Amino acid sequence: QVQLVESGGGLVQAGGSLRLSCVASISIDSRTDMAWYRQAPGKQRELVARISSAGSANYFVDSVKGRFFISRDNARKTLYLQMNSLNPEDTAVYYCWAKRYALSPKYDSTYWGQGTQVTVST
C-alpha cells in the first residue's frame, strides 16, 4: 500500500552532505513527475525540488539552488536528492512526491512518502 519510501535522512553538522533516496513501488516512467518537499516544525510544507518525467525540466527553491541536486533513475524506480553545504535552516522532514499523469486529468494519481528527518546542527 505504501507507494513511496524515503531514506537517507539523519543528523549532520552544518556544511555536511546527505543524499536522500525515494524508492517507488509504482512505475517511474515518462508519465511520472517527481519532487521533494520539506516541512519544518510549525512551518508550511515547502516544495524543494522537482524533476520532470524526462529529467530535463527541474525546479529548485531559491534557498537550495547551487546546493541541492535532484535526479531520478527510472529503471531503479528511485528518486534522489543530493544535499550539499547543509545549514540548520535545512532541518525538516523531507517528503517524496510523485504524480502519474493519465490520458485524462481526472485519472491522474498523486503519491506521498512517509517522510525522512533531516537535522542539521551547528
At 30 the pLDDT is 79
- Cβ neighbors of 108 (< 8 A, separation 6 or more) are 99, 100, 101, 102
Spans in the chain with pLDDT lower than 50: none
- What is the predicted pLDDT for the residue at 1? 66
| Nine-digit cell string for 44 | 508550511
pLDDT of residue 66: 96
pLDDT at position 72? 92
Give pLDDT, residue 53.
Answer: 80
- Report pLDDT for 121: 97
Which of these, 116, 90, 108, 94, lies nearest to 36 by C-alpha position? 94
The residues, ordered by sequence, that sit 6+ positions from 49 with a Cβ below 8 Å of its Cβ are 35, 36, 58, 59, 60, 61, 64, 68, 69, 70, 81
What is the pLDDT, as a whole number, of residue 65? 97
Structural Rg of the chain based on CA atoms: 14
Return the amino acid letter for 44. Q
